[in-house]
Amino acid sequence: MTTKRLTMAQAIILFLQNQYVERDGPENAFFAGCWGIFGHGNVAGIGQALQQYSGSFRYYQARNEQAMVHAASAYTKMKNRLQTFACTSSIGPGATNMITGAAVATINRLPVLLLPGDIFAERVQAPVLQQLEWEHSQDFSVNDCFKPVSRYWDRINRPEQIISALPEAMRILTSPAETGAVTLSLPQDVQAMAYDYPSHLFDKHVWQIPRNRPDLGRLQQAVEWIKQSKQPIIVAGGGVIYSEATDTLRRFVEQTGIPVGETMAGKGSLAYDHKLNLGAIGVTGTPGANILARETDLVIGIGTRYSDFTTASKTAFQMQDVKFININVAEFDAYKHNAIPLVGDARATLEELMGALSGYQTSKSYQERAQQYNSSWDAEVSRIYNLEHGPLISQGEVIGVINTLSKAEDVVLNAAGSMPGDLHKLWRTRNPKGYHMEYGNSTMGYEIAGGLGVKMADPSREVFVMVGDASYLMMNSEIVTAVQEGVKLIIVLVDNHGFASIGGLSKSVGSDGFGTKYRYRSESGQLDGETLPVDYGANAGSLGAHVIRASNRDELANAVQKAQGMSETVCIVVETDRRQRVGGYESWWDVAVAEVSENPAVQDARKNFEEAKAKEKHYL
């Protein structure tokens, strides 16, 4: 057996650059490179290896470790999980900064490889700088915190251990069902140790991404359920898009006449103006989707994990004997709600169902009803887009301006605050990849870093990063990275003077927006003084962005058009009326309200909460 003597870090990078994936024929390198911030825990190991292989494996410099994982997650989401990044950090805070990013990747089922540095494996130097000591074990560091947010975790205490660890990491990263964050914890001394590795470890390896098909017996049972159903509805989740099954779904819908409601991750599964697209479903859903969900006798979930926003905290599907058929690559999700589990790829399974359902269609009256809901909702969107209530523009109007002026292939991106709900309802999605929402973890601060990842994944598209002022303050550092890499973003910074979304939620539970506004502390001791004079434009400009300020609808439209003609990152700052909200439609979300309180508003909120909670159902 021939061998190659390398440090462990060099062996890792050489291995990564030779990993490829293939689905439906085309193959591509699985790793687009490595994000990193260097410290004493990785500079002499992974850092040296990245320098050595910089001609064949690209290194990207980030400003925040959490942000670089977000950029990697957004990139792989845009690539339908067929390509991703590795992310390296030093030990201590550099490593723990990546934990939130790991949670985002794992919750959203997105493959990202994390390579945090760790304390010395030999322990002679202990306790070292940034070491967390634990009196019950020597084999412990802050990197153990990655375990619950990683789909695979390993600590590499000897250089030869990567021979078995790296293929296992790739097995998880390339699995449609098990993917998420993979963490290989790398002690700083072991990174620099040399070993005679078998040369075949560095051969080109192509991982085939399967299109698994469901059990035939269960498929036949599902066909019978569909044929017996009077008012079936499809819940289209992110699995439709990852499977590249959007055209197949359209043909399935047109063949069967079954209307579609879209989850956050599944928005774009069907064009917004398709006559059987009911739009968003659940807490942030449209009237048509939620009314038909309440009345349906059969839910066909495709690539959805049924989050509480999708099921409206288990109040969405109210028929006594409602049944579920779940198409999902993950057995865990396929079995939810006592469903017939069609464990398989979304596109392959829909193709098989179409053949078995030849000649079947829902009633004409049912389809006409769905079409009416689609039409009436489009009119409601137009109304919200054109409120013109002034003097400050509403958030719904901001979305309207961006949506109207953007191209079909452009991408809108968001993650937190009230914006996800408004975009879910209002954005007219014209392209399967035109709507990018991180709503598994709804991470404040994801937006700019995520926009960077999306634009790197597809430079041909304009990327509109919609971000609230609170999210912007939490993480705006990757504007610098975008400028450094020459990556253009159009950042639309909505200034509503604080945590407007939670302010609204606070009011709904009787707490009057306590602690959610950006105000000075007054003589009363409360945060209810004058509004803080934060200049977001000055901040964004200092980081290298071109700044345009807009104070009304026309100025915003002009700013967007100017930004579209530029080649650099632009930040458009627009102040909005936080009181002018887009309401909810035919839905409810379970947020616990204090059972006892001296506040009458809280008491009233509790009564409403108990009435709504009584409608929750256990679908098993």
pLDDT digits (tens, 9 = 90+) for 462-482: 999 999 999 999 999 999 999
**At the topology level of CATH, where does 3-208 sit?**
Rossmann fold (3.40.50)
Give the residue carrying structure tokens 């003597």: 5
pLDDT of residue 74: 98
The total number of residues shown for the chain amounts to 620
Assess whether the region 216-376 and the region 390-497+532-575 belong to the same CATH fold.
yes
Amino acid symbol at 577? D
Q: Is 21 helix (H, G, I), strand (E, B) or coil?
A: strand
Query: Which one is the CATH code of 390-497+532-575: 3.50.50.60, 3.90.180.10, 3.40.50.970, 3.40.190.10?
Result: 3.40.50.970
Report d(CA 413, CA 466) in Å as an integer.
6
pLDDT of residue 515: 85
User: What mean pLDDT do residues 276-283 have?
Assistant: 98
pLDDT of residue 360: 97
Q: Is 32 helix (H, G, I), strand (E, B) or coil?
A: strand
Which stretches within 229-303 are classed as H helix?
Answer: 238-242, 246-256, 287-295
Kind and range of the H or E run holding 562: helix 553-564
Reply yes or no on whether the pLDDT at 458 is more than 80.
yes
Report d(CA 233, CA 310) in Å as an integer.
13
pLDDT of residue 512: 80
User: What mean pLDDT do residues 497-524 have?
Assistant: 84
List phi, psi (to 5°) of 304.
-120, 150
pLDDT of residue 500: 80
Q: How confident is the model at residue 499 (pLDDT cuts 50, 70, 90)?
A: confident
In the chain, what are the domain boundaries? 3-208, 216-376, 390-497+532-575
Reply yes or no on whether the pLDDT at 619 is more than 80.
no
Tell me: domain 216-376, CATH 3.40.50.1220, correct?
yes
Under a CB-based contact definition with an 8 Å cutoff, are residues 481 and 85 in contact? Answer: no
Report d(CA 445, CA 448) in Å as an integer.
7
Give the least confident one: 301-310, 509-518, 534-543: 509-518
Q: How confident is the model at residue 620 (pLDDT cuts 50, 70, 90)?
A: low
Q: Is 86 helix (H, G, I), strand (E, B) or coil?
A: strand
Q: Is 483 helix (H, G, I), strand (E, B) or coil?
A: helix
pLDDT of residue 113: 98
pLDDT in tens, 332-382: 999 999 999 999 999 999 999 999 999 999 999 999 999 999 999 999 999
pLDDT of residue 318: 94
pLDDT of residue 451: 98
pLDDT in tens, 103-143: 999 999 999 999 999 999 999 999 999 989 899 988 899 99
pLDDT in tens, 172-222: 999 999 999 999 999 999 999 999 999 999 999 999 999 999 999 999 999
Reply yes or no on whether the pLDDT at 600 is more than 70.
yes
Mean pLDDT of the chain: 96
pLDDT in tens, 578-593: 888 898 999 998 999 9
Q: How confident is the model at residue 255 (pLDDT cuts 50, 70, 90)?
A: very high
pLDDT in tens, 403-449: 999 999 999 999 999 999 999 999 999 999 999 999 999 999 999 99
Q: Which of 14, 60, 52, 50 is nearest to 205 (CA)?
A: 14
- Measured from the Cβ of residue 137, the count of other Cβ atoms closer than 10 Å reads 8
Strand 3-7 relative to strand 194-198, pairing: antiparallel
- In Å, how far are 182, 281, 594, 604, 606 from 308, measured between CA atoms? 26, 11, 20, 24, 20
Reply yes or no on whether the pLDDT at 57 is more than 70.
yes
